[in-house]
């Protein structure tokens, strides 16, 4: 049977990918952040996932404001690296697992999560930067990713966005689907977004470490309390794009009620974002 062996949750910022790909991770500005990624890479290496479910938000590469699914699941054999305006990152494309994707889609829809199915999907920095954080792979470092992937897209760009509680329940439904998959397979879930940040408007540059630290603590101690905070409060407390923390809640919902936190790191700031990273196993 398939087994959910662990979770990684992380922020994503395009400049983190650029720092990796241009070889400046040891510069004074970036070194503290990249040092914090080393234990996460060790964790993932030991976890050896056959498949990684990547819960992320497309930022306008494949989903634009005219057509926005609330939740989407990739079902492709391969996911291309998208060009977000500064050229595609020179990293290998991601290998999919269509059979597992269709299993997930069937089980999610049976549990009343009527997801959009993506048989073709290029991925943006939300996906690729997080994968590089977890698995290595700046441009030129690897020829092939050591895991197959299933992308799960959550809408964070066009109102109304799904509520935190709904995202947590999506995670629980994903877990049921993993547990029902008959093949022996190690599955990791990677939830990426946030932490506190706002990129536009009057509060551009806004970050709130108190909120982020409360969130990180309750990811372990009381995730249900995090689902009771309305999305609007996430946005007022953690900045508009702090709403991206809902992807962390999908990953947390998939894990057991009790988890062991293997690694946690918090760093202000990477570009205009408070950057958090955590690794969990089930208890």
Return the active site residues: 125, 197
State residue 211 phi and psi, 5-degree precision. -65, -45
Considering the rule CB under 6 A, would residue 103 count as an interface residue with ligand DHB? Answer: no
> 């977890």: which residue's tokens?
134
User: Considering only residues 273, 277, 279, 280, which one is a binding residue for ligand DHB as defined by CB under 6 A?
Assistant: 273
Considering the rule CB under 6 A, would residue 175 count as an interface residue with ligand DHB? Answer: no
Considering the rule CB under 6 A, would residue 264 count as an interface residue with ligand DHB? Answer: no
Considering the rule CB under 6 A, would residue 13 count as an interface residue with ligand DHB? Answer: yes
Considering the rule CB under 6 A, would residue 58 count as an interface residue with ligand DHB? Answer: no
Considering the rule CB under 6 A, would residue 271 count as an interface residue with ligand DHB? Answer: yes
DSSP assignment of 3-33, as one string?
A: EEEEEEEE---HHHHHHHHTT-TTSTTTHHH
Considering the rule CB under 6 A, would residue 169 count as an interface residue with ligand DHB? Answer: no
CB of 241 vs ligand DHB, minimal distance in Å: 6
Considering the rule CB under 6 A, would residue 14 count as an interface residue with ligand DHB? Answer: yes
C-alpha span between 219 and 279 (Å, rounded): 11
Count of other CB atoms within 10 angstroms of residue 36: 18
Measured from the CB atom, is 2 or 270 closer to ligand DHB? 270
C-beta pairs of 256-262 under 8 Å, 24+ apart in sequence: 256/282, 256/283, 258/282, 258/283, 259/7, 259/220, 259/283, 261/219, 261/220, 262/6, 262/39, 262/43
C-alpha span between 8 and 10 (Å, rounded): 7
User: Considering only residues 5, 18, 117, 272, which one is a binding residue for ligand DHB as defined by CB under 6 A?
Assistant: 272
CB of 163 vs ligand DHB, minimal distance in Å: 19
User: What does the binding site for ligand DHB look like in residue numbers (CB under 6 A)?
Assistant: 12-14, 59, 126, 197, 199, 241, 244, 271-273
């Amino acid at each position: 049977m398939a087994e959910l062996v662990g979770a990684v949750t992380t922020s994503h910022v395009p400049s983190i990918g650029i720092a990796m790909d241009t070889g400046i991770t040891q510069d004074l500005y970036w070194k503290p952040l990249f040092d914090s990624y080393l234990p996460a890479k060790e964790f993932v290496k030991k976890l050896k996932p056959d498949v990684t479910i990547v819960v992320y938000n497309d930022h306008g590469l494949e989903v634009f404001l005219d057509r926005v699914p609330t939740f989407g699941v990739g079902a492709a054999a391969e996911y291309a690296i998208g060009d977000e305006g500064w050229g595609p990152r020179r990293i290998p494309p991601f290998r999919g697992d269509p059979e597992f994707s269709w299993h997930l889609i069937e089980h999610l829809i049976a549990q009343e999560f009527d997801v959009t199915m993506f048989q073709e999907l290029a991925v943006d920095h939300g996906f690729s930067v997080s994968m590089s954080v977890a698995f290595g792979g700046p441009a030129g470092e690897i020829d092939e990713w050591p895991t197959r992937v299933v992308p799960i897209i959550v809408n964070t760009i066009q109102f109304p966005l799904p509520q935190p509680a709904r995202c947590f329940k999506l995670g629980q439904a994903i877990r049921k689907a993993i547990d029902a998959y008959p093949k022996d397979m190690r599955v990791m879930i990677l939830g990426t977004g946030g932490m506190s940040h706002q990129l536009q408007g009057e509060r551009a540059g806004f970050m709130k470490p108190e909120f982020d630290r409360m969130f990180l603590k309750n990811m372990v101690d009381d995730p249900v309390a995090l689902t009771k905070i309305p999305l609007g409060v996430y946005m007022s407390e953690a900045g508009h794009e702090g709403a991206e923390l809902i992807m962390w809640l999908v990953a947390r919902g998939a894990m057991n009620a009790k988890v062991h936190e293997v690694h946690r790191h918090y760093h202000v700031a990477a570009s205009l974002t408070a950057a958090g990273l955590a690794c969990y196993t089930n208890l």
